[in-house]
């Protein structure tokens, strides 16, 4: 019996080690594939750099882990349907009505194609992306027993609804969102490099033009041109041109610094992918709204309202959207638009 238990324990230990090695190989293959994808997307010539995989590995690994942790922070799926619009204040705040809700999902070719491919599925899980907008309006408000008119209020609305990647389960959707979060970081790294290259080219052209203008100014100053110029003719300011040329040269040197070789490209990629939380951020947007989507700020408001707690994701300095995992039923899907009709 003891011998049998010993053999069993050894077998279990070996099985665990084998499984751990298999998991490690799978993670290593995933990481290797991600590195090659980054190189393909940004500059395939990076493969000429000795040890490029080793140099990019820490940053790529960090971005993959961060993408997974970011998706984990997204709340559980929210049911979106006509019934949900009537019962759930959050869903009601996002859409102007049941028809509006249905139209958002029905206008998505991806949703129609999903249900066409999966005849037995009654629901699809999809990411809903929106813009949150606020504007100042004049309305009415109760203060005790007195109705006050022309009260400055803040109206909240949601626009530019987009439905992304309908799939059969929430787990599958979260996996897809991890991939898309990583893709967003790769695209952002490419964008920063592209902007730097574009800025460098623009400054180079500007400096070349200033060089020509300065040479022309010197040539004119040494010729008969100043003697023939009239009282109202424009006088070329050589010192101003020289100062502008110097400033442009300094700006060009700053842009050139760190982006002259393939090694520099790897450094720029590592800066973005190695610090993903600086560029791709997730946060909470909380507010209290009434049924008309008017913000009820502060405890002073006597009107009943509901708490709206949303997730906002931002990329860089400009892109900022509300994200929500949703579950949409087939029965709510409207027919495809017939554009010929």
pLDDT category at 325 given cuts 50, 70, 90 is very high
Task: Give the domain ranges of the chain.
Answer: 78-183+277-332, 194-272
State residue 89's pLDDT score.
93
- Give the residue from 329, 338, 307 showing the smallest Cα distance to 105: 329
For residues 112-135, b (16+ Cβ closer than 10 Å) or e, as one string? bebbeeeeeeebbbbbbebebeee
Of the two residues 223 and 110, the one the predictor is more confident about is 110
Q: What is the pLDDT of residues 261-294, one digit of tens each?
A: 888 889 989 999 999 999 999 999 999 998 888 8
Q: Which helix (H) or strand (E) holds 194?
A: helix 170-221
State residue 85's pLDDT score.
95
- Let me know: does 198 contact 254? Beta carbons within 8 Å: no
pLDDT category at 224 given cuts 50, 70, 90 is very low
Q: What is the pLDDT of residues 285-300, one digit of tens each?
A: 999 998 888 888 764 4
Q: What is the pLDDT of residues 24-75, one digit of tens each?
A: 677 889 899 999 999 999 889 999 999 999 999 999 999 999 999 999 999 9
Quick check: 102 pLDDT over 80?
yes
Q: Which of 23-37, 108-122, 322-336 has the lowest mean pLDDT?
A: 23-37
- State pTM to two decimals: 0.75
Q: Is the dihedral of CA 49, 54, 58, 63 positive or negative?
A: positive
Q: What is the pLDDT of residues 116-166, one digit of tens each?
A: 999 889 999 999 999 999 888 776 665 656 666 667 778 899 999 999 999
């Amino acid at each position: 019996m003891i011998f049998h238990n010993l053999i069993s324990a050894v077998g279990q230990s070996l099985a665990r080690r084998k499984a751990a090695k298999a998991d490690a190989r799978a993670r290593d293959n995933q990481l290797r594939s991600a590195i090659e994808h980054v190189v393909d997307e940004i500059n395939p010539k990076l493969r000429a750099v000795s040890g490029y995989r080793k140099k990019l590995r820490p940053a790529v690994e960090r971005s993959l882990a961060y993408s997974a942790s970011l998706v984990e922070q997204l709340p559980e799926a929210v049911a979106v349907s006509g019934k949900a619009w009537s019962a759930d204040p959050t869903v009601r705040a996002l859409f102007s009505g049941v028809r509006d809700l249905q139209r958002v999902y029905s206008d998505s070719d991806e949703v129609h194609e999903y249900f066409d491919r999966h005849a037995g599925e009654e629901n699809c899980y999809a990411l809903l992306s929106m813009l949150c907008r606020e504007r100042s309006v004049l309305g009415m408000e109760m203060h005790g027993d007195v109705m006050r008119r022309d009260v400055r209020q803040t109206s909240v609305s949601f626009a530019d609804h987009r439905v992304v990647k309908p799939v059969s389960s929430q787990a599958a959707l979260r996996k897809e969102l991890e991939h898309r979060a990583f893709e967003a970081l790769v695209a952002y790294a490419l964008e920063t490099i592209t902007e730097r290259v574009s800025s460098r080219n623009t400054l180079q052209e500007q400096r070349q033009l200033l060089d020509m203008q300065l040479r022309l100014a010197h040539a004119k100053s040494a010729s008969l041109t100043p003697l023939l110029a009239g009282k109202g003719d424009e006088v070329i300011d050589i010192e101003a041109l020289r100062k502008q040329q110097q400033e442009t040269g300094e700006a060009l040197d700053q842009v050139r610094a760190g982006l002259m070789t393939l090694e520099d490209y790897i450094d720029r990629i590592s800066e973005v992918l190695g610090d993903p939380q600086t560029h791709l951020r997730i946060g909470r947007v909380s507010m209290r709204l009434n049924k008309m989507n008017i913000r009820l700020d502060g405890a002073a408001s006597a009107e009943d309202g509901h708490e709206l707690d949303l997730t906002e994701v931002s990329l860089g300095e400009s892109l900022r959207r509300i994200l929500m995992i949703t579950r949409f039923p087939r029965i709510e899907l409207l027919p495809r638009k017939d554009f010929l009709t």
